[in-house]
Amino acid sequence: MSATVLPGQPQVHYRGDELYVEDVRLADLAREHGTPLFVYSKASMLAALAAYQRGFAGRKAKVCYAMKANSSLAILQLFARAGCGFDIVSGGELERVLAAGVPAGEIIFSGVGKTRREMRRALEVGIRCFNVESEAELEVLSAVAVEMGKRAPVSLRVNPDVDPKTHPYISTGLKGNKFGIAHKDALLAYQRAAQLPGLQVVGIDCHIGSQITFMSPYLDAMDRILDLVDSVERAGIRLHHIDFGGGLGINYTGEQPPAADALWQQLLAKLDARGYGDRELMIEPGRSLVGNAGLCVTEVLYLKPGEQKNFCIVDAAMNDLPRPAMYEAFHAIVPLARNEVKPATFDVVGPVCESGDWIGRDRKLSVEPGEFLAVLSAGAYCMSMASNYNARGRPAELLVDGSQVHMIREREDVADQMRKEKLLP
What's 396's domain CATH number? Answer: 2.40.37.10
Known binding residues for substrate are: 287, 323, 327, 354, 381
CB-CB contact of 142 with 165 (8 Å)? no
Q: Starting at the edge strand that comes first in sequence, how are the strands of the sheet with 18-21 ordered? A: 3-6, 9-15, 18-21, 24-25
* Position 316 in a domain: yes
CATH of the domain at 261: 3.20.20.10
Q: What is the pLDDT of residue 285?
A: 96
244 and 177 together in one domain: yes
* Position 132 in a domain: yes
d(CA 190, CA 341): 64
272 and 145 together in one domain: yes
H-assigned helices in 40-164: 42-55, 73-81, 91-99, 116-125, 135-147
Q: pLDDT digit string (tens) for 281-331?
A: 999 999 999 999 999 999 999 999 988 999 999 999 999 999 999 989 999
The pairing of beta strand 85-88 with beta strand 107-109: parallel
d(CA 317, CA 332): 15
Known binding residues for pyridoxal 5'-phosphate are: 247, 284-287, 381
266 and 132 together in one domain: yes
* Position 61 in a domain: no
313 and 346 together in one domain: yes
d(CA 205, CA 224): 12
Percent pLDDT > 70 in the chain is: 95
Catalytic residue check, 382: no
CB-CB contact of 51 with 293 (8 Å)? no
124 and 248 together in one domain: yes
274 and 306 together in one domain: no
* Position 55 in a domain: no
398 and 300 together in one domain: yes
The CA radius of gyration of the chain, in Å to the nearest whole number, is 23
Q: 162, 156, 206, 208: which is closest to 186 by C-alpha?
A: 156
Chosen domain end from 285, 307, 341: 285
Helix (H) or strand (E) segment spanning residue 291: none
258 and 297 together in one domain: no
Catalytic choice (84, 206, 312, 353): 353
CB-CB contact of 347 with 357 (8 Å)? no
342 and 281 together in one domain: no
Known binding residues are: 247, 284-287, 323, 327, 354, 381
Chosen domain end from 230, 250, 285: 285
123 and 230 together in one domain: yes
For the chain, the domain total comes to 2
* Position 117 in a domain: yes
Average the pLDDT over 195-215 and give the result: 92
145 and 223 together in one domain: yes
261 and 298 together in one domain: no
d(CA 13, CA 253): 16
Q: Which residue type does 256 have?
A: Q
Range of the domain at 23: 3-41+291-418
* Position 71 in a domain: no
* Position 425 in a domain: no
Q: pLDDT digit string (tens) for 4-52?
A: 767 677 799 999 999 999 999 999 999 999 999 999 999 999 999 999 9
Name the pTM for this structure.
0.94
Q: Is the pLDDT of residue 69 over 70?
A: yes
Q: What is the pLDDT of residue 381?
A: 96
